[in-house]
Chains A and B, each alone.
Chain A
Amino acid sequence: MVADPSERSSRTTRITRDSSRQFQELRDARHQWAASREILAALGRAVDNPGQVLDTVLEYAARLCGAHAVQLFLLDGDVFRVERVSGDTPEAYRAYLLDHPIARSRSSTVGRAAEDMRTNQIADVLSDAEYGRHDLQKLTGFRTLLSTPMILQDEVVGVLSMWRTDVKPFDDRERELLEEFAAQGAIALRLESRGAELASKVGQLEALREVGEAVGSSLDRDEVLDRIVSNAVRLTGTDGGSIMEYDESGDSFHVRAASGSSPDLVEQLRAITIDRGSTLVGRTALERKPLEVPDLAQAELDPHLEILFRDGWRSVLAVPLLRGDRMVGVLVIRRRTVGTFPPEVSELLQGFATQSALAIVNARLFRELQTKTKELEIASQHKSDFLASMSHELRTPLNAVIGFSEVLLDRMFGEINERQDEYLRDILNSGRHLLELLNEILDLSKVEAGQMVLEPSTFGVGSALEYTLKMVRERATQHAITVTVDVADGVDTVVADELRFKQVVLNLLSNAVKFTPDGGSVSVRAYREGTDLVVTVADTGIGVPPEDQERIFESFQQGRRGAPKEEGTGLGLTLSRRIVGLFGGRLWLKSTPGSGSTFGFSVPGLPEREDEVASPERDKLPVVVLVDDDRASLDLLSVYLDGSGTRVLRARDGVEALEQIRRVPPVAVVLDIKLPRLDGWQVLAELKADPATAAIPVVIASVVDDRPRGLAEGADEYLLKPIRRDELVDALRRLGALGESS
Chain B
Amino acid sequence: MTPRRILVVEDNPLNLKLVRDVLQFAGYDVIEAQSGEEGLRAAREDPPDLVLMDLQLPGIDGTETLRRLRQGPLGRDVPVVAVTAFAMAEDRARASLAGFDGYVEKPISVRELPGQIEAFLDGRVV
What is the interface of chain A, defined by CB distance below 8 A to chain B?
A: 392, 395-400, 402-404, 406-407, 410, 412-413, 435, 439, 442-443, 455, 499
9-residue interface stretch from B13-21, B31-39, B45-53, B67-75? B13-21
Is B97 in contact with chain A by the CB < 8 A criterion? no
**Other-chain residue from A402, A410, A443 in contact with B107 (beta carbon distance below 8 A):** A402
Q: A395-B106, A400-B14, A400-B15 are in contact. Are A439 and B21 (CB under 8 A)?
A: no
Expressed in whole angstroms, the minimum distance between the Cβ of B101 and any Cβ of chain A is 22
Residues on B with beta carbons closer than 8 Å to the beta carbon of A412:
21-22, 25, 110
Residues on B with beta carbons closer than 8 Å to the beta carbon of A413:
21, 25
Bound Cα distance from A439 to B106, whole angstroms: 12
- Judging by beta carbons under 8 Å apart, are B18 and A403 in contact? yes
Residues on B with beta carbons closer than 8 Å to the beta carbon of A396:
12, 15
Q: A395-B106, A399-B15, A404-B18 are in contact. Are A410 and B87 (CB under 8 A)?
A: no
- Judging by beta carbons under 8 Å apart, are B89 and A406 in contact? no
Name the residue on B nearest A431 (C-beta).
B107
Name the residue on A nearest B21 (C-beta).
A407
Residues on A with beta carbons closer than 8 Å to the beta carbon of B42:
none
Expressed in whole angstroms, the minimum distance between the Cβ of A422 and any Cβ of chain B is 19
Q: A392-B85, A395-B106, A439-B86 are in contact. Are A403 and B22 (CB under 8 A)?
A: yes
Expressed in whole angstroms, the minimum distance between the Cβ of B9 and any Cβ of chain A is 15
**Other-chain residue from A400, A410, A442 in contact with B111 (beta carbon distance below 8 A):** A410
- Judging by beta carbons under 8 Å apart, are A406 and B14 in contact? no
- Judging by beta carbons under 8 Å apart, are A399 and B89 in contact? no
Residues on B with beta carbons closer than 8 Å to the beta carbon of A397:
12, 14
For chain B, give the interface size range. Answer: 10 to 19
Name the residue on B nearest A412 (C-beta).
B25
- Judging by beta carbons under 8 Å apart, are A442 and B14 in contact? no
Bound Cα distance from A410 to B18, whole angstroms: 13
Residues on A with beta carbons closer than 8 Å to the beta carbon of B121:
none
Is B78 in contact with chain A by the CB < 8 A criterion? no
Name the residue on B nearest A435 (C-beta).
B107
**Other-chain residue from B56, B86, B107 in contact with A403 (beta carbon distance below 8 A):** B107
Closest 9 CB pairs of A and B: A406-B110, A400-B14, A399-B107, A403-B18, A412-B25, A439-B87, A402-B107, A396-B12, A407-B110
- Judging by beta carbons under 8 Å apart, are A443 and B14 in contact? no
Expressed in whole angstroms, the minimum distance between the Cβ of B21 and any Cβ of chain A is 6
Bound Cα distance from A607 to B55, whole angstroms: 40
Bound Cα distance from A403 to B17, whole angstroms: 10
- Judging by beta carbons under 8 Å apart, are A406 and B111 in contact? yes
- Judging by beta carbons under 8 Å apart, are B15 and A410 in contact? no
- Judging by beta carbons under 8 Å apart, are A442 and B22 in contact? no
- Judging by beta carbons under 8 Å apart, are A399 and B87 in contact? no
Name the residue on B nearest A404 (C-beta).
B18
Bound Cα distance from A413 to B56, whole angstroms: 30
Residues on B with beta carbons closer than 8 Å to the beta carbon of A398:
107
Residues on B with beta carbons closer than 8 Å to the beta carbon of A403:
15, 18-19, 22, 107-108, 110
Q: A412-B21, A443-B87, A455-B89 are in contact. Are A395 and B14 (CB under 8 A)?
A: no
Is B109 in contact with chain A by the CB < 8 A criterion? yes
Expressed in whole angstroms, the minimum distance between the Cβ of B7 and any Cβ of chain A is 19
Expressed in whole angstroms, the minimum distance between the Cβ of A193 and any Cβ of chain B is 73
Residues on A with beta carbons closer than 8 Å to the beta carbon of B85:
392, 395
Residues on B with beta carbons closer than 8 Å to the beta carbon of A443:
87
- Judging by beta carbons under 8 Å apart, are B12 and A400 in contact? yes
Bound Cα distance from A393 to B85, whole angstroms: 11
Chosen A-B contacts, 17 in total, with CB atoms closer than 8 Å, are A392-B85, A396-B12, A397-B12, A399-B107, A399-B108, A403-B15, A403-B19, A403-B22, A403-B107, A403-B108, A403-B110, A404-B14, A407-B18, A407-B110, A410-B111, A439-B86, A443-B87
Name the residue on B nearest A396 (C-beta).
B12
Expressed in whole angstroms, the minimum distance between the Cβ of A158 and any Cβ of chain B is 66
Bound Cα distance from A43 to B56, whole angstroms: 67
Bound Cα distance from A407 to B17, whole angstroms: 12
Residues on A with beta carbons closer than 8 Å to the beta carbon of B12:
396-397, 399-400
Q: A399-B18, A400-B15 are in contact. Are A442 and B87 (CB under 8 A)?
A: yes
Name the residue on A nearest B56 (C-beta).
A392
